Amino acid sequence: MRLLHLAVVLTLLTPAIGHAQDTPQKMLDLARQIRAQAAQMKDSLPPEDVADLIRQAEEIEQGVKDGGYSAPVAPEPVSLAKRIAEAHGGRLDWLARETACVGYSWENHRTFVSNYGDPRRDALCRTAYGHYAEYFRIARDGGGTVRSDPPLAAYDKAAQAAVDYYERK
């Protein structure tokens, strides 16, 4: 019977609990609500249940005093794909916009033959797009970031190497 009463009280307070996680003031409001519920139901609940409600309110108030509800929420880590896209105008395949590997793409990197006359540049472009093709296949097949991030990082590094090589020429 005791648990039934607590379940009813907690059901009444559940909406407040969900919204109270935002600020210390809302948590203090929740503690005040719990105390009010305990006072209203002291005649219908066993004394242990009323004491439990009051103890809960005290724990919340102590948590606010200790700063437990004012800690900032850690931002979600930025994914590798998002970092690369943000650094290159919203594109993951940013090498496609660069002059260094004109004519190459992740679809044709194995068969394309440039007329640059620079085997080192061709090798850098093929390597970069090979990594991007691997990333694309893994991402397309639902491989997840654990599997797709390494080839994406390798693409970004190889693409930068190709651009740097081209700019030094």
Query: What residue segments make up the domains of the chain, in order of their start?
Result: 2-65, 80-168
The span from the CA of 72 to the CA of 95, in Å, is 38
Q: Kindly give, in sequence order, each residue whose CB lies less than 8 Å from that of residue 150, ignoring residues fewer than 6 positions away.
A: none
Which of 139, 142, 165 lies closest to 84, judged by CA? 139
The pLDDT profile of the chain, 169 residues, written as one tens digit per residue, is 443 344 444 444 444 444 444 668 888 888 899 888 888 888 888 888 888 888 988 988 888 888 777 766 677 788 999 999 999 999 999 999 999 999 999 899 898 988 888 999 999 999 999 999 999 999 999 988 899 999 999 999 999 999 999 999 8
pTM of the model: 0.57
Cα dihedral sign for 81, 139, 133, 105?
negative
CB 99 within 8 A of CB 166: yes
Q: Which amino acid is at 38?
A: A
